[in-house]
Structure 1
Amino acid sequence: MVDDTPPNELVRLWRLPVGPRLGRPAGLDVDLVVRTAVQLADRDGLPGATLPKIAETLGVTPMSLYRHIGSKEELLVLMADAALGTPPTFPAPVDDWRPALREWAFALWSGHRQRPWLTQLPIAGPPSGPGSVGWMDSGLRALRATGLDSGAKVGVVMVVSGYVRQADLLAQQLEQGRRTTGLDETETNRDYARHMARLVDPEHYPDAAELFSSGLFESATPPTTPDPTQDDFEFGLEIVLDGVAATIARTG
């Protein structure tokens, strides 16, 4: 007979009821540990959410935390599952998948931008907690009427979520670079184009040389949103959605 009893990490991830444990510190549970870890990461970044710092904040010993989170690696999974919040809710049926999936992607992007440490978390496997499964369910619902099979829908959700994660990581790295130089995005682009125009040999890199001499970077318009990375995110997202549209069209 197959044992379908959930492993301990899933019991904790889904907050399934368990029997009382001797020696458990009063008031300490999975939710409190994870909530504290997320608050520390929000304040000090992911390096600030160590087990010793969590224990110090809660006034307990680091070893006592292992009764509730299992391991340091499991804590990261618990944090990731809790940190993104609630996904968009789409009433069924969703007649037009594109605006729904766009809304889903923007909600995911917003969550990542509010908590930059999310992209630093390792991807330990497929969605397995109530938070991550909720986001997957919402993305799948946006695609319900597309005619795609289940495998293709999962693939689309993975591609879009992967794009959001990578776009946020790139935005963070570019922002760090601008903080290092002290230049804003417009100044950075102009300096970049000016130096490249001098260095890039048209005989070896004809198309790149044409780009750098075109004036594109010098004439770029200022960002239209408070987050200067959002314009780039929107542009890339529409390209991804165009690819999804082409995939749906091929299914007939």
Structure 2
Amino acid sequence: MTSEDFVPAPLRRLWRMTESSRLGRPAALDIDLVVAAAVEIADRDGLGGVTLPKVAKSLGFTGMSLYRHVGSKDELLTLMTDYALGMPPDTDTDSGDWREGLRRWAFAQRAVLQRRLWLTRVPISGPPSGPNQIAWMEVALAIMSRTRLDWAHKVGVLSLIGGYVVQAVRQHSELAESRAEDRREADAERDRTRALVRLVDPERFPETAQLFSSALFQAPPPSDTPCETVADADFSLGLELILDGIAVRMERS
């Protein structure tokens, strides 16, 4: 193998390029088993519940035995992220409607993150590198292939929308947890809003005063409005603002 052909061990494992057992027998433990067990723990206990010893114990092995298949905790997180993300759904990338395509792409990613909230907690350690991550990126690039955006702008769009999806899902989850812990928070929040309306001087903060006196603050959603309905509306609004900005950039290209 030449230096040009060399693939680092973590990437070989991520792309399942591992060699077969030298003894000619199937290994009792492999990367897929390790990663599946780790994802199962994360689905149940959250990302903080995933440790190499706990994963090994769930499989009936010692912690040291995992290092033959996973080099470190950081590598395990990378493997878990790619596995949990899965392949993207079938998307029509030939319609030429980049806006609708990116909208569906964003909502599809959101659906995955909503099922596995711990994915929003995984530290970003670099650009997409796993086969599933690359597949998601390929879909978005194909959607933008008929636009006049250059590669730098296409990568920027991917980063912007992807980051927005993660942040939106994480923020909604944290707000939902907060409300579940203390139902009185909603009343306290309304009291704070009313207090702010009184404190904000229209002469000193004219725009903010108008905002606080607008229907957005004065007429909150009915208590029987499903939280998911509000979350969907908030997510769509933010996404459309991003797509509007992309459209302007395309016109200037």
Q: Distance in 1 between matches of 2:227 and 2:182?
A: 22
Instruction: Mark the CA change 1:224 to 1:99 in structure 2 (over 3 Å): closer, same or farther.
Output: farther
In structure 2, stretches of 5+ residues that fail to align are none
| Residue 231 (structure 1) aligns with | 233
Q: Which residue of 2 aligns with 1:47?
A: 48
In structure 1, how many angstroms separate the alpha carbons of the residues matched to 2:20 and 2:104?
A: 41
Contact 1:94 1:144 in 2 (8 A): no
Q: Take 1:82 and 1:65, find their aligned partners in 2: how far apart are those partners? A: 17
Determine the C-alpha separation between the residues in 1 that align with 2:43 and 2:209: 43
**1:5-61 CA deviation, whole Å, 9 max, x = no partner?**
110000000001414256x99431101111111111010101111111111110100
Q: Deviations over 1:186-228 (max 9, x none)?
A: x565334213223333343332222223343231334577353
Retained in 2: the 8 A contact 1:189–1:218?
no
**Separation in 1 of the partners of 2:219 and 2:57?**
52
Deviates more, 1:115-124 or 1:211-220: 211-220
1:151 deviation in Å? 2.2
User: Which letter maps to 2:206?
Assistant: P
Q: Tell me if the contact between 2:15 and 2:131 (Cα under 8 Å) persists in the aligned partners.
A: yes
The equivalent residue for 1:245 is 247
**Amino acid paired to 1:214:** S
Change in 2 beyond 3 A, CA 1:88/1:26? closer
Are the aligned partners of 2:92 and 2:101 in contact in 1 as well (CA < 8 Å)? Answer: no
Check 1:172–1:36 CA distance in 2 against 1; reply closer, same or farther (3 A cut). same
Correspondence for 2:197: 197
Give matches, 1:75-114, under 5 Å.
75-114=76-115
Counterpart of 1:211, as a letter, is: L
- Residue of structure 1 in register with 2:220 after alignment: 220
CA contact (8 A) 2:87 2:132 kept: yes
Equivalent pair of 2:37/2:55 in contact (CA under 8 Å): yes
Residues 41 and 48 in structure 1, CA contact (< 8 A), matched pair in contact too: yes
Rate the CA distance shift 1:184–1:52 in 2: closer, same or farther, 3 A.
same
Q: Give the 3 Å change call, closer, same or farther, for CA 184–108 of structure 1 in structure 2.
A: farther
The structure 1 segments of at least 4 consecutive aligned residues displaced by more than 6 Å after TM superposition are none
Identity of aligned residues (%): 49
Letter in 1 for 2:132: G
**Structure 1, unaligned runs of 5 or more:** none
Matches within 5 A, 1:4-83: 4-20=5-21, 26-83=27-84
**198-207 or 95-104, which deviates more:** 198-207
> Please, which moves more after superposition, 36-45 or 189-198?
189-198
* C-alpha contact 2:82 2:133 (8 A) present in aligned 1: yes
Task: Quote the residue 1:122 is aligned against.
Answer: 123
For the residue of structure 2 that corresponds to 1:145, the secondary structure is coil
Q: Report 1:125-204 matches (<5 A).
A: 125-183=126-184, 190-204=190-204
Q: More deviation in 195-204 or 118-127? A: 195-204
Range that drifts further, 188-197 or 171-180: 188-197
Aligned residues, how many? Answer: 249
* Mean CA deviation greater in 29-38 or 217-226: 217-226
Residue identity matched to 1:135:
W
